[in-house]
């Protein structure tokens, strides 16, 4: 397993994150985009890769969030597909290992109808990613995707058993699911892992500090990842109002790496 973290997207921030990553022993950075992905240029992507190479780093992942690839509206679907094609192409330029996106959704349609449309829509994207040497993985539970439960993933796995999931234990816990059961049963389906901590107090999410300072049982998560021979990225996600910026962001990354490293060979 390799350690990285979610970087910030401006070129100035990329340079700072590269210096920080190199100084503290991280191997890679990942980048995530929502609607602003429209404005990302190939020139910026190429400059980002050059910074990685300068500092001896890799791109963990490129994420495309919030686009509905199954949109009923033809114009919205067309733009979404163009963004996904571009994401795959940009990830290839970055030399990233994984592209993470949502499955999209068909509101008010039956689950079987959604799965059938997903299989039809994504066939060329799987082919495009394979030709680029990339793996597609799908985020769960939020962001306009019909993959909003383990049951939804199971319906797709009946047709595509090798489909990969982006796994975030804190998201599953916050959704009210047994995240350990997910990784125990389906660790072989995981293509990318986010490390984000949740600290609850009096029944409410109170903070999202460094890994090991909250409620997620990371040792057990790691045990199941090892049992499934997961060899991908563990990518730390600075999140929340306090631990996602400034000095606490850096402390979150350093302390999370220090904590998780006890489970790495």
**Does position 196 have pLDDT exceeding 90, yes or no?**
yes
Provide the pairing of β-strand 199-201 with 204-207: antiparallel
pLDDT > 90? residue 142 = no
Give the whole-angstrom CA distance, residue 168 versus residue 121: 25
User: In the chain, which residue ranges form alpha helices assigned H by DSSP?
Assistant: 11-24, 42-55, 74-94, 111-131, 150-157, 169-174, 179-186, 218-227, 240-243, 246-260
The residue-averaged pLDDT of 61-89 equals 97
Concatenated DSSP letters for 15-61? HHHHHHHHHHT--EEEEEESGGGGG--HHHHHHHHHHHHHHT-EEEE
What tens digit of pLDDT does each residue of 199-253 get?
Answer: 999 999 999 999 999 999 999 999 999 999 999 999 999 999 899 999 999 999 9
What domains appear along the chain, each with residue ranges and CATH number? 2-263 (3.20.20.150)
Exposure b/e, 143-182, CB count within 10 A at least 16 = b? bbbbbbebebbebbeeeeeebbbbbbbbbbbbeebebbeb
d(CA 140, CA 177): 12
pLDDT tens, residue by residue, 97-113: 999 999 999 999 999 99
């Amino acid at each position: 397993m390799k350690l990285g973290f979610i970087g910030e997207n401006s070129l100035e921030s990329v340079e700072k994150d590269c210096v920080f990553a190199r100084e503290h022993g991280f191997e890679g950075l990942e980048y995530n985009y929502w609607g602003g992905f429209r404005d990302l240029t190939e020139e910026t992507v190429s400059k980002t890769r050059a910074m990685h190479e300068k500092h001896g780093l890799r791109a963990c992942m490129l994420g495309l969030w919030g686009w509905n690839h199954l949109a009923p509206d033809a114009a919205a679907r067309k733009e979404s597909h163009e963004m996904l094609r571009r994401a795959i192409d940009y990830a290839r330029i970055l030399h990233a290992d994984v592209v993470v996106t949502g499955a999209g959704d068909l509101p008010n349609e039956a689950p079987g109808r959604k799965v059938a449309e997903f299989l039809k829509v994504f066939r060329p994207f799987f082919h495009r990613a394979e030709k680029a040497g990339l793996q597609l993985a799908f985020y769960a539970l939020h962001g306009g995707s019909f993959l909003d439960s383990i049951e939804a993933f199971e319906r797709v796995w009946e047709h595509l058993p090798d489909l990969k999931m982006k796994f975030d234990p804190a998201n599953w816990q916050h959704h009210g699911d047994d995240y350990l059961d997910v990784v125990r049963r389906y660790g072989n389906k995981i293509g990318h892992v986010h490390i984000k901590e949740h600290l609850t107090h009096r029944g409410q999410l109170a903070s999202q500090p460094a890994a090991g300072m909250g409620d997620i049982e990371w040792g057990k998560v790691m045990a199941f990842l090892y049992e499934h021979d997961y060899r991908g990225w563990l990518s730390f996600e600075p999140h929340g109002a306090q631990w996602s910026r400034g000095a606490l962001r850096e402390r979150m990354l350093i302390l999370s790496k220090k904590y998780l490293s006890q489970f790495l060979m």
